[in-house]
Structures are given as C-alpha cells and as structure tokens.
C-alpha cells in the first residue's frame, strides 16, 4: 500500500536520507563549509562521520554513476538552520494576488481603455488580473457582446499578460478571463 501523501506537491513530505539509510556504494563528502573532502566507499564514509560525531545528510544522488553527495553536519543544527532559511525565504517572497476588474457588456470605449490601463499597471506589478462581465436576467442575450469585449481585452493586453484560454470562460452568471503576468 502506498503511504505517501497524495495531492499538491507542497504537502508532500520530503525524505531526508541520513547515515545508514544512504545506500550509494560511493559517497562524496562535503564538510559544514561546503568544502569537498573527497570520494569514499560507503562504509569508510560512515566511519569518518562516526569518528567526528557528525551525521551524513544526503544532498543529491547520481543514478548513472551511483554516487551520493552528502554533507557531514550535526543533523539537529542542520534542520534548525534549514527551517530558519526557509522562514527567511518565505518572508521575502511576495505572493501573487489576483486582481479583479468588473465590466459591463455595454461599456464604452473610453471607460474600457481606463480599465485596461489599470490592468496594465497590475500586470506590470506582477499581479494576475481577472476581467469579469456579469449578465443578469435578460442581459444574457448579449453573451456574444460580452465574449467579444473579453476577447478584445485579451488581444489588446497580449504584450503585458498571457491568458490561459483563447476564449473567455463561462461562469454561472456571465463570462470571465484571467490574464497572467509575464
């Protein structure tokens, strides 16, 4: 039975191979500073780590040459430093935000140009933009006009953002299109 978590890649547990769980016959050892100490047979590499009271943490494995690259560190410190670095990276990352611009199927050209100008600013700031047109009641007969407006927007903003689909997406009460920043 497969016990690995299913779904999104972010939710998966990343396996860390330590000491005895490293099965490569040859091991390249890097010290804590990242300096190459050389290539050793598996048994000798484990002995070197034991002599220094440190752990071997696998960084990568080369399937073709059957060589594992490991770092010789205190695993507790290594985990702490790695989690600290991950938190620091998370702080500096700016999340992408989906900005929504709502339109009417009968929007005039000047008003549409203003909305597109605002969308260009959002796309330049690396935000994704969703244009949506809601059709209520009898307005549903103007679905082709709404689709034409959204196609025009997509074609005019092709230099600033890329649409996922060529035609607007039909929603419960209208149409929408999402432009992704380049």
pLDDT of residue 1: 42
pLDDT of residue 102: 93
108: left (phi over 0), alpha (psi -120 to 50) or beta: beta
> What residues have CB less than 8 Å from 4, skipping those under 6 apart?
12, 13
Domain 98-181 in CATH 1.10.357.10: no
Domain ranges of the chain: 9-90, 98-181
Q: What is the CA radius of gyration of the chain?
A: 27
The label of the residue with tokens 């953002």 reads: 161
The number of helices, as runs of H, and strands, as runs of E, in the chain is: 4, 9
Run means of pLDDT, 10 residues per run, the chain, 182 residues:
46 71 87 85 89 88 87 88 89 81 90 92 90 91 91 90 88 90 82
Q: Taking the complete model, does pTM exceed 0.75, yes or no?
A: no
Superfamily of domain 9-90: Translation initiation factor 3 (IF-3), N-terminal domain (3.10.20.80)
pLDDT of residue 7: 47
């Amino acid at each position: 039975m497969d016990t690995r978590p299913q779904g999104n890649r972010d939710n998966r547990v990343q396996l860390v191979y330590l000491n005895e769980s490293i099965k490569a016959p040859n091991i390249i050892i890097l010290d804590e500073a990242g300096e190459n100490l050389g290539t050793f047979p598996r048994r000798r590499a484990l002995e070197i780590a034991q002599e220094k009271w440190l752990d071997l943490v696998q960084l990568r494995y080369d399937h073709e040459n059957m060589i594992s690259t490991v770092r010789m560190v205190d695993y507790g410190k290594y985990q702490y430093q790695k989690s600290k670095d991950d938190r620091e990276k998370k702080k500096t990352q700016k999340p992408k935000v989906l900005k929504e611009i709502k339109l009417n199927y009968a929007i005039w050209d000047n008003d549409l140009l203003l909305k597109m100008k605002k969308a260009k600013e959002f796309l330049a700031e690396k935000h994704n933009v969703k244009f949506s047109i809601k059709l209520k009641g009898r307005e549903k007969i103007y679905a082709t006009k709404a689709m034409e407006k959204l196609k025009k927007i997509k074609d005019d903003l092709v230099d600033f953002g890329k649409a996922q689909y060529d035609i607007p997406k039909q929603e419960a009460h209208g149409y929408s299109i999402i432009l992704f920043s380049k």
